[in-house]
């Protein structure tokens, strides 16, 4: 196991399902908890990059839609309506701890060539400024994550881009479950058996599910970034996993 002090730069991915509260009401109090934990980590000298979904979920709430639109253009419109609201929620939550945040809307094409270097330089500068970068897919021009990803794979690409020590994917499940619904604590090799444990989500507000989380973990560990899938609804989960990535959920380890 790597020593604690090595987990300095951490990418945290927040899934859209976490923003969907009971009866399709949005649970924005989630942002308050996230901000509190991020502030604690920054005080300890860690650097945190947030990859957050929720634009479509918030857009749906503003438009009073109870089920996820089927048409792609409507999903993109909902994302455009919800994205600035999502940032507003995070901005207010982080401000309470004296932290600034920055919005970065990326697409998969931005992880190639000159764009990759530009994104990397911006992110590194924001971290030096002790600002919290908040990344989402640019849903107006790209649709990979809207269609099936919920930003899982985007978060893996981001963790590689920033040279993260740890990727934490927060969802509404406790981790990867085996066929007896028992949590698998440690994955050292992503075999066909592990992949077969993934199943898409059945929620009507979001996409993704365990399939894309396992794929994100595969992308991350191949580039030597350990990845933890944990339940974002648990109190203090980010702080706990950042201190000890073996303490909660499922950890995927690089070779």
DSSP state of 211: H
Which of 38, 1, 18, 5 lies closest to 251 in space, CA to CA? Answer: 1
How many other CB atoms sit within 10 Å of the CB of residue 4?
A: 12
* Interface region with ligand GLU, contact rule CB under 6 A, candidates 3-11, 131-139, 175-183, 221-229: 131-139
Rounded to the nearest 10 degrees, the angle between the axes of helix 152-161 and helix 113-128 is: 80
Q: Quick one: tokens of 73?
A: 């253009």
Shorter beta-carbon distance to ligand GLU: residue 16 or 119: 16
Which residue, 10 or 207, is less far from ligand GLU as judged by CB?
207
Angle between helical axes of 29-43 and 72-95 (0-180°, round to 10): 50
Asked if 79 is part of the footprint of ligand GLU (rule: CB under 6 A), the reply reads yes
Residue closer to ligand GLU by CB (options 151, 194) is 151
Near ligand GLU by CB under 6 A: residue from 7, 76, 90, 137: 137
Chain centroid to Cα 211, Å, comes to 15
| DSSP 8-state class, residue 17 | G
- Which of 89, 206, 210, 216 contacts ligand GLU by CB under 6 A? 206
Q: Does residue 55 belong to the site contacting ligand GLU (CB under 6 A)?
A: yes
Q: From 48-56, 171-179, 185-193, 237-245, give the range in contact with ligand GLU by CB under 6 A.
A: 48-56
By CB under 6 A, residue 39 contacts ligand GLU: no
136 binds ligand GLU (CB under 6 A): yes
């Amino acid at each position: 196991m790597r020593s604690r002090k090595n987990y300095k730069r951490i990418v945290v991915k927040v899934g859209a399902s976490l923003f969907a509260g009971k009866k399709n009401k949005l649970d924005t109090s989630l942002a308050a908890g996230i901000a509190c934990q991020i502030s604690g980590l920054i005080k300890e000298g860690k650097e945190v990059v947030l990859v957050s979904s929720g634009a479509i979920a918030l857009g749906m709430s503003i438009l009073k839609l109870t089920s996820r639109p089927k048409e792609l253009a409507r999903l993109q419109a909902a994302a455009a309506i919800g994205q600035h609201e999502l940032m507003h929620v995070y901005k207010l939550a982080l401000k309470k701890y004296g932290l600034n945040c920055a919005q970065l809307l990326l697409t998969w094409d931005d992880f190639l060539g000159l764009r990759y270097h530009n994104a990397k330089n911006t992110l590194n500068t924001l971290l030096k400024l002790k600002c919290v970068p908040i990344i989402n897919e640019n849903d107006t021009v790209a649709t990979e994550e809207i269609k099936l990803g919920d930003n899982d794979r985007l978060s893996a690409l981001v963790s590689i881009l920033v040279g993260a020590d740890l990727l934490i994917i927060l969802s509404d499940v406790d981790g990867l479950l085996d066929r007896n619904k028992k949590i698998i604590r440690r994955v050292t090799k992503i075999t066909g058996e592990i992949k077969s444990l993934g199943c898409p989500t059945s929620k009507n507000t979001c996409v993704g599910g365990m399939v894309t989380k396992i794929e994100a973990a595969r992308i991350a560990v191949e580039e030597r970034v350990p990845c933890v899938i944990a339940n974002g609804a648990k109190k203090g989960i980010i702080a706990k996993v950042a201190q000890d990535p073996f303490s909660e959920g499922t950890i995927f380890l690089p070779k």
